[in-house]
Amino acid sequence: MIDPADQAAVAEQLGREPRGIEEVGHRCPCGHPDVVTTRPRLPNGTPFPTTYYLTCPRAASRIGTLEGTGVMKEMEARLGDDPDLAERYAAAHDRYLAARDAIGQRAGLDVPEIAGISAGGMPDRVKCLHVLAGQSLAQGRGVNPLGDEVLDRLGEWWAPGPCVDVPADPVADGG
């Protein structure tokens, strides 16, 4: 169960009510969630392979800009040229699947439609840097080498302060 203050922050970050949140996957240095872990099936029944959902709009915007520079093609090419990188990226895929399976089991959800499919293009493509960064934030540096590279390229997106302004306790503050 997610805390109401975190739910309010994520809703403000996304501009809509979040769906299928399991828990906060990572907190930004400002204190707000910047990644949530989601259940593998949304409440409406839709399979949802994105376990680590990046919610911070500032980080997401910077990643979108980075994606526009062609870095995904460069990263994918490196996967073909660097067997060690490819092996570590494939291991990140396995860790992603294991985490999603554990969340699904805790929630009593069976989602055969996405079995073996992670997100972000893993294990052999690079399709979404947001997913890779989300995994690195939620599971820690060293798990996804390309996600770590994305975070290194982002810099301190949190430095200007919180990306949203929500009360610490939205219920007590009338929210």
What tokens does 84 get? 């060690």
pLDDT of residue 53: 97
CB 34 within 8 A of CB 60: no
pLDDT of residue 166: 79
pLDDT of residue 175: 45
Domain residue extents for the chain: 4-154
Predicted model pTM: 0.92
Query: Average pLDDT of 83-111?
Result: 97
Instruction: Reduce the DSSP state of residue 136 to 3 states and report it.
Output: helix
Name the one residue in this structure whose structure tokens are 């997610």. 2
End-to-end CA distance of the chain: 18
How far apart CA 67 and CA 94 sit, in angstroms, is 24
How far apart CA 41 and CA 49 sit, in angstroms, is 8
CB 5 within 8 A of CB 167: yes
Dump pLDDT digits (tens) for 49-95.
999 999 999 999 999 999 999 999 999 999 999 999 999 999 999 99
pLDDT of residue 162: 87
Q: Is the pLDDT of residue 168 over 60?
A: no
How many CB atoms are closer than 10 A to CB 87? 13
How far apart CA 67 and CA 44 sit, in angstroms, is 30
Q: Is the pLDDT of residue 171 over 50?
A: no
pLDDT above 90 as % of the chain: 87
Mean pLDDT of the chain: 93
Virtual CA dihedral for 27, 33, 39, 44, nearest 10 degrees? 180
Query: Average pLDDT of 156-163?
Result: 89
Report CA-CA distances (Å) from 135 to 65, 87, 96, 155, 175.
19, 17, 8, 17, 31
When computed from its CA atoms, the radius of gyration of the chain, rounded to whole angstroms, is 16
pLDDT of residue 172: 44
Dump pLDDT digits (tens) for 10-61.
999 999 999 999 999 999 998 999 999 999 999 999 999 999 999 999 999 9
pLDDT of residue 170: 45
Amino acid at 119: A
